[in-house]
Structure 1
Amino acid sequence: MMKQRIKINETGREAITALYPLNKYLAKSSIENALFDLVHFRVSQINKCAFCLDMHSKDLRAMGESEQRLYVLDAWREAPFYSDREKAALAWAEALTQLGSGSVPDEIYENARTQFSEQELIDLTMGVIAINSYNRINIAFGADVGSYKVGQFA
């Protein structure tokens, strides 16, 4: 059993609010919300953040996302039901989340540039930064997994 951890909701509210302007910026992005949530779900799988997986799966389902696409997301490269734009975003997000080589491979960058404008790629990058930050906060301090309600943080 996990020992009692600091509750960000209570103790760290001021610190966590530092991320809010980033969310406000991303809300104005031309990247569709469903794509951001799909990317956030995939990054949360990689980082093993249960709270964010719960949250983004609920939000995606509320937007009409199929369970099949959620179940198979971990193997998106082999699945035929993700668009080229989604695949480029997922590859970009994975490369930024798993920086093993220290850089994004050229082929992933070039593919992303065929699907996203310069501004969209910057916004997608900021979205990946945001979800990685939230994942790490939730993993470090624990979160009330399963408690999220659709639109709770809108």
Structure 2
Amino acid sequence: MPAGPVHVLDGSVLRALHQGKGLPLWSCELGVPASGVLAEDGAVYAVRADPQTRANSVVAIDAESGRERWCRRVTGQGDSRYCALELLGMRAGLLYVKSARGNHGLFRRRSPFLTALSLATGQRRWHFEHPRISHRGAVLYGDSIVIALPELTAIALP
């Protein structure tokens, strides 16, 4: 196992724990229970739902210090009881995110979508939308995202 903290979700709180002792190092409130976190190269990536604005964002947090590196609003006003974003994985410096709704967020989309954000800056680098992906599972596989639309479809990554 690599050195450094262990990152866990505790409901709506992302926690960093000392790997050997399990002692808390830092924590970050994400709003509503998140769907999962991803970590790579000293950063932890998570989704955040703001109950006041009802916006969903992706946030990059320094794995050691807990300091926010960047935060990118991805969807706008939706249901504040859940987060519509799902982190799919990382490839070639990009973080792939699926949105279960398209509600005039930052990207001004009406349909549910897949998007890729730069790991370094959070800037959007790729986008794909389709009205039927909202409640469909999506998986990163090799250089494609595989999703049932309802037929099994592979979408090439950039």
Please tell me the TM-score bracket, short chain as reference.
Answer: under 0.3
Larger RCO (CA within 8 A; separation ≥ 6): 1
More helix by share: 1
Superposition TM-score, scaled by structure 1 size: 0.23
More strand by share: 2
